[in-house]
Amino acid sequence: MLSRIAESMFWIGRYVERAEDTSRILDVQMQMMVEDPTVDIDAGVLTLLSVMGARIPDDGKPLSLTGTFNRMAFDGSEVTSIASAIGGARESARRARETLSTEMWEVINSTFRHMSSGRFRTMRLPDAFKWVRERAAVINGTADATMSRDEGWQFLVLGRSLERADMTARLVATSALTPGPNSAWPVTLRACGAYQSFLRAYRGQETDREAAEYLLLDRLFPRSVVHALTRAEQCLANLEASGQRVGFQDEAQRLLGRTRAELEYRSIGDIVTDLPGEMERLQRTCASASDAVTQRYFAHAVAMTWQGGAAR
């Protein structure tokens, strides 16, 4: 496959996942900061911007809660925003237009057109976040139904899985760092679509430790970090398919495999002791793996810029 096409498929997966997960993180933060009167709004906004990798203004002016959410949702010039991610997905799809199915191109393009027309900006924030999640589901479902499981598919799912691991780590970090006396984990589980399956898995027991364990380590839940890392490893193995008998030639596969093993073989108690620090290290691993994929497969393609902490 041409490196240009492979790179475009990789970034479609990443950008769509970034838009969906950003909407999930913002939805969690909005519920916690708006509905809980004890939350320190200023501290919460700073934590949100920091975890998302967004620029924190240095003009000394107080940060507006509404202004921050609008910036992270609707501002196309903000590289970590939902609007920017959808724009990136559409541009990547345009570069790979000849290899995408007509249905896949149409759902990505129509999503972008809805945003660029200004209709997205007029939506209430809760409705906007729900709409983004629904559109991401439509895009991913269309890809699943219309794409051959060839190299293009492997790169698409690889990008999606890397971004999902990174963004789930950010979501877990925001829950651990959010100030206030009330637990953020029930809201976080609901934002991931994990609350009902979590209650079934843990038979109704609901603690912060078990919620973190589920989002990080559960092998069956598709949005958990371990599941996403495992899926990314499988894609890399399918792309490599060299019959390597000793070790791994693929640096990205080595990085992801080591990180997944460290998560799975350590006790959850060790991990939650410094959960924000652990999630930051996981994000650095995802960035390094993305760089390794770029060097191995996209070295001759036109370089794409990715900001917000996931890759540079």
- Which alpha helices (H) appear in 36-64, and where do they start and end? 41-52
In angstroms, the Cα distances linking 105 to 31, 101, 113 are 34, 6, 12
Judge whether residue 308 has pLDDT over 60: no
Encode pLDDT of 194-209 as tens digits: 999 999 998 877 678 8
Q: What length is written for the chain?
A: 312
Among 26-30, 31-35, 237-241, name the one with the lowest average pLDDT. Answer: 31-35
Average of per-residue pLDDT across 37-55: 82
Distance CA 16, CA 164 (A): 10
What pLDDT score does 39 carry?
Answer: 76
Give the list of residues 6+ apart from residue 299 with CB closer than 8 angstroms, or none: 3
Instruction: Work out the percent of the chain whose per-residue pLDDT is above 70.
Output: 89
Judge whether residue 111 has pLDDT over 90: yes
Encode pLDDT of 63-96 as tens digits: 788 889 999 999 999 999 999 999 999 999 999 9
- Can you give the C-alpha Rg of the chain in angstroms? 19
Average of per-residue pLDDT across 32-48: 79
Give the list of residues 6+ apart from residue 31 with CB closer than 8 angstroms, or none: 187
Average of per-residue pLDDT across 123-141: 95
pLDDT averaged over the chain? 87
What pLDDT score does 176 carry?
Answer: 77
Nearest to 187 by CA among 40, 25, 17: 25
Confidence category of residue 125, pLDDT binned at 50, 70, 90: very high
What pLDDT score does 63 carry?
Answer: 79
DSSP per-residue codes, 58-100: -S-PPPPHHHHHHHHHH-TTSTTSHHHHHHHHHHHHHHTTTTS
Judge whether residue 310 has pLDDT over 50: no
Instruction: Work out the percent of the chain whose per-residue pLDDT is above 90.
Output: 61
Judge whether residue 192 has pLDDT over 50: yes
Judge whether residue 138 has pLDDT over 60: yes
Confidence category of residue 57, pLDDT binned at 50, 70, 90: confident
What pLDDT score does 247 carry?
Answer: 53
Judge whether residue 294 has pLDDT over 50: yes
CB 103 within 8 A of CB 109: no
What pLDDT score does 64 carry?
Answer: 84
Judge whether residue 11 has pLDDT over 70: yes
Distance CA 146, CA 132 (A): 21
What pLDDT score does 191 carry?
Answer: 79
Confidence category of residue 312, pLDDT binned at 50, 70, 90: very low
What pLDDT score does 242 carry?
Answer: 53
Encode pLDDT of 250-281 as tens digits: 899 999 999 999 999 999 889 988 888 999 99
CB 172 within 8 A of CB 228: no
What pLDDT score does 163 carry?
Answer: 96
Nearest to 188 by CA among 19, 21, 20, 28: 28
Judge whether residue 311 has pLDDT over 80: no
What pLDDT score does 214 carry?
Answer: 94
Confidence category of residue 1, pLDDT binned at 50, 70, 90: low
Tokens of 201: 């898995």
In angstroms, the Cα distances linking 244 to 235, 249, 250, 295 are 15, 8, 10, 20
